[in-house]
Amino acid sequence: MKIVFLDAYAANPGDIDWSPWQHLVNQDGESIEVEKYDRTAPEETLTRAKNAEILLTNKVIINAELMDLLPQLRYIGVLATGYNVVDTTHASKLGITVTNIPAYSTASVAQMAMAHLLHITLHVGQHSDAVREGRWQTSKDFCFWDHPLIELNGLEMGIIGLGHTGMATAKIAQSMGMKVVAWSSKDKDTLEALGIEKATSLDDLFSTADVLSLHCPLTPQTHHLVCESRLRLMKPTAILINTGRGPLINEQDLADALNEGRLYAAGLDVLDQEPPRNGSPLITARNCYITPHIAWATQQARKRLMTIALENVKAYLNGKPQNVVNQ
């Protein structure tokens, strides 16, 4: 039996111990070969995967055409929570088990959402740079700032999607004195018990939120959830945060809203295309701050990811697969 990691570097660039993977055995007690590739280009995937019973992928696409060429493939482990890189319907037809890694990065992603918000409202980095440049030293006053300073206490935090990360973000916002209103499938009574108000409609949430944070999954229904018509509902002082999925936002519509001053700022950890090799209108948009899809990537979160991935494979080998997404 052979396990192949198609793009291992992102999850583990070498700062997490690989040795537990070297001690895996099958049900007959035989050692399992583990082959790791840092990155795999589309044209390399078939060659590298051809003798594997178990494939592990983060962003390498495993489509129906590829699966049809891999008759020995029995298991695909996605090294992420989202599993849209795998054609799960076709995998089910072929009897291939597909698993994901749920809830491993909850705290890290919520932290990044708030990091973007705190950066936008206080501009700590820019003010630190100003001190290094000598601008405080030459100030006529005992203090110095050249960006607006915004207090979060009393502002409304709108959250779209109240799963693990949405809830974690809500708790942090509440601890900072923010009123939390959520668009969620959870019922009103459940939310009220958590101190969260249930939004009456999605459009109402766009129109009332001082800060809007996206934590919903990417589906056909949520694709371009943030679009021109909804951006026009938002306050010109509002802030948009996205640590979910890039295609939740129509990038040109958001860039236009920022450049025209119809929206105060945006903090984004994800874009429609990653990396944005063809560019994005958001890269040069006014008051738009982008981090390169790293909210999930703290070492603590990646250690949890690798631990759960190993547990998933062990469960499969023992005939009791867990975290299956194509049952």
- Here the CATH number for the domain that contains residue 274 is 3.40.50.720
Q: Is residue 313 part of a domain?
A: yes
Strand ranges (DSSP E) for the chain? 2-5, 33-36, 54-57, 75-78, 97-99, 156-160, 179-183, 197-198, 211-214, 239-242, 265-268, 288-290
Q: Are residues 122 and 208 in the same domain?
A: yes
pLDDT at 51: 92
Residue 209 contacts residue 182 (beta carbons within 8 Å)? no
Q: Is residue 20 part of a domain?
A: yes
Q: Is residue 325 part of a domain?
A: no
- Residue with token string 């194509």: 326
Q: Are residues 45 and 165 in the same domain?
A: no
Residue 88, classed as helix, strand or coil, is helix
Q: Is residue 324 part of a domain?
A: no
Q: Are residues 149 and 272 in the same domain?
A: yes
| Spans of the chain below 70 pLDDT | none
Q: Domain residues for 31?
A: 2-104+299-317
Q: Are residues 123 and 47 in the same domain?
A: no
Q: Are residues 146 and 80 in the same domain?
A: no
Q: Which strand (E) or helix (H) includes residue 59? A: none
Q: Is residue 96 part of a domain?
A: yes
Q: Are residues 271 and 311 in the same domain?
A: no
Which residues are designated catalytic?
245, 274, 293
Residue 256, burial from CB neighbour count under 10 angstroms (0-12, 13-18, 19+): middle
pLDDT at 34: 96
Q: Is residue 199 part of a domain?
A: yes
- Residue with token string 């495993």: 62
Structure tokens that stand for 45 in this block: 């995937």
Note the pTM of the prediction, 2 decimals.
Answer: 0.93
CA–chain centroid gap for 104, Å, is 11
pLDDT at 15: 96
Q: Are residues 76 and 188 in the same domain?
A: no
Residue 316 contacts residue 325 (beta carbons within 8 Å)? no
CA–chain centroid gap for 286, Å, is 23
Q: Are residues 24 and 145 in the same domain?
A: no
Distance from C-alpha of 272 to C-alpha of 224, rounded to nearest angstrom? 10
Amino acid at 106: T
Q: Is residue 232 part of a domain?
A: yes
Pairing of strands 211-214, 239-242: parallel
Q: Are residues 110 and 253 in the same domain?
A: yes
Q: Are residues 88 and 192 in the same domain?
A: no
* Count of structural domains within the chain: 2
Q: Are residues 95 and 174 in the same domain?
A: no
Q: Check whether the bond before 275 is cis (ω within 30° of 0).
A: yes
Distance from C-alpha of 205 to C-alpha of 183, rounded to nearest angstrom? 7
Q: Are residues 216 and 97 in the same domain?
A: no
Q: Is residue 212 part of a domain?
A: yes
Residue 13, classed as helix, strand or coil, is coil
Q: Helix/strand/coil (H, E, C) string of 204-241? A: HHHHHCCEEEECCCCCCCCCCCECHHHHCCCCCCCEEE
